[in-house]
Structure 1
Amino acid sequence: MPSSGPQYGKCRHCRQRFRRTGKPGRKQEYCDPACRRRAQRERSRNAAQSTDSPLPLARNIAESVQALAEGLLAAEYHEQDLAVLLRRAGELTREVEYYTCAAVHDARMKGAGWEAVAADAAVSAATARSRWAEKTVRRRLERRASERSAARQQDPAGHPAQPRSDGQDSGQPGERPSGKLAAALSHLHRSSGLTIREVADRTGLSPSYVSRILSGERLPTWSVVEMLAALVDGEADELLVLWENAHGMTPLARQPLPDAAARLNAALRGLYLAAASPSLTRIHEASGGALSVSTVKDILGGRLVPDWRTTVAFVRAVGGTPADIRPLWEAVHYAFLVFLDPVPDATSAPPSSSAGPKAEAPENRQGQDGHPL
């Protein structure tokens, strides 16, 4: 017969002797719940330290979420079929769910208790433990790794993936804004014929710093961009929007029409420089014939503000991301509307009912490609 006396054990965490409660079920291994939580956190930290990744799990997945969101946006701009859009949206949704698991995992390894996690997630502590238990998170992330491995080997239709040989965009996220700035500066540098050492000597910068700027490893200040542009015979204004995008800056929502149009043209020319100044014919071909050579020439020359469809065709033909240009294009057309139908001064009398009709939106009144400046 089993002994009816008190049962004792040694806590696996604090190593202190404690009296077991005698409740049925799994044998008690910790003296109290606090010791059990501390032991779980310690195991998680040890597991994290043994991994090869230098970044938190959630940060890596967040970068993937951003890339998938850009891919969805690119599919929208390409006006792809609903099936493609929904497939991309599903991929994004799954990745967000994986991110949530990883974010909780990272927080737990930093010492967050289940009560704190539950409060931040607006669920009960029991739900948090069940939904994001260590084994559950590990199992989900292993499944994610398997899915990504399979995706790299197959195209969306389930066939083995083949590299594109036509040079066209595959729908994958485009180069980041910092890369566009570096590409434009690098193109100007190559065209100048100067060596990196000569650029460094004339600007007072170190050769290694100049090299990192041109490779996209470092984001320069605007004064450095101006200095480099002047040295390699470039126009700093054409690099301004690329620099602002690289730093995550938002353009002014309302500007005078000439200023807004100049910024849009400079941004388009900046993308053209980042693409290494391709020929007009090559841009025409890259647009799939959507842009005529004369239209491309007028856009680059600042003689035409294209409609949005034409703008998208140009931006994509030079490897840019339409979403980066949209605010500038909208600023031009807002300014154009205000120019045609100025907003009355707040102190002036309201317009009479006999006033003529409002000017029609420029995109509805212009020709096929846009309107000239």
Structure 2
Amino acid sequence: MAGASPRYDSCRYCQERFAQRSGPGRKKEYCSIDCRGKAQRERDGKLRRHARNALPLGGRIAEDLHALATALLKAEYEGRPLADLLRYAVEMGREVDYYASAAVQDARNRGASWDQVAEAAQISATTARTRWPESRVKERLERRTGERTSVRIPPTVAVPGPDAAERKLLSKASKRASAKLTSALSHLQRASGLTLREVADQTSMSPSYISRILSGRRTPPWSVVCTLAELFGGEPAELTVLFESAHGMVPPARHAIPDAVARLQAALRGLHLAAGRPQAAVICKASHDALSAETIEEILSGEVIPGWEQTAALVSALGGWPADVRPLWQAVHYTFLLCLDPPEEPPRLSAAPTESA
């Protein structure tokens, strides 16, 4: 409409206000080409720093190999059927091949020459170049990432399996946790300003696989969660409980006090991240003033351990289900009651719980 006042936005780089373009099409995010270029250079620098500091590709695969070897040894001790033993052996063989490719790529990233790689592998430099070119290694690791499923290690102690009703509840909780995990990773990605192509270039994952993760169509393994969270500038620890719940992993019933407290706090911070990290005042309003802004800040910063009513109010205000978090809260309070040697300065408890754990 003629005479309408122009719309103003803040530049994502310099924070200066600028007149936003009118009409259809994508809106401007920067006030000038210069600011856009500076922002891109900063993102490129961040990607390079992450590439230098990230866990080596071979390290991630070695962790999975360690888990497989542990599972195989336990299966041997238990006298498991030959089919189970061979399944572990085949998977380990496949992982060893992937590890070799990753280890070579790690060495090349650190500046190793093909002659040095050839000497270590006891082959010719020409064979090394042919066997482990960067493009082929990247393709192999993308395939591994897309196909890899979590290793199912038998529990140390046999326990009765859940009945149908319990399985249904666990399934619903897993789906809710998976959705929250997706929301948390998506928020971190948007806040980082990184495109799917930029992420793919630094993680050996395809843009389509990353897109499936961030859209909730694929629940990633823990190594991928860590890689993405770190690349986006987040803390993987905040996503631990969401990841375990999404995969239906049941942690031990009892923990030492610091571990139990850390798990509860990680779950609450994970929900806060999945909600987009709203301000305390916004959460206060969503809780219908059941929690003050000051109390919310103390809980999320780890200064206090909330009572159950406060925990439930916070979880609900963040869009979570209190029933999913209740076992973690119970573990903390049971631990405080049962532990005979508490730490010298345990986290401060807020109002006493209003109902029996």
TM-score by structure 1 length? Answer: 0.46
TM-score where L is the length of structure 2: 0.48
Over alpha carbons, which structure has the higher Rg? 1
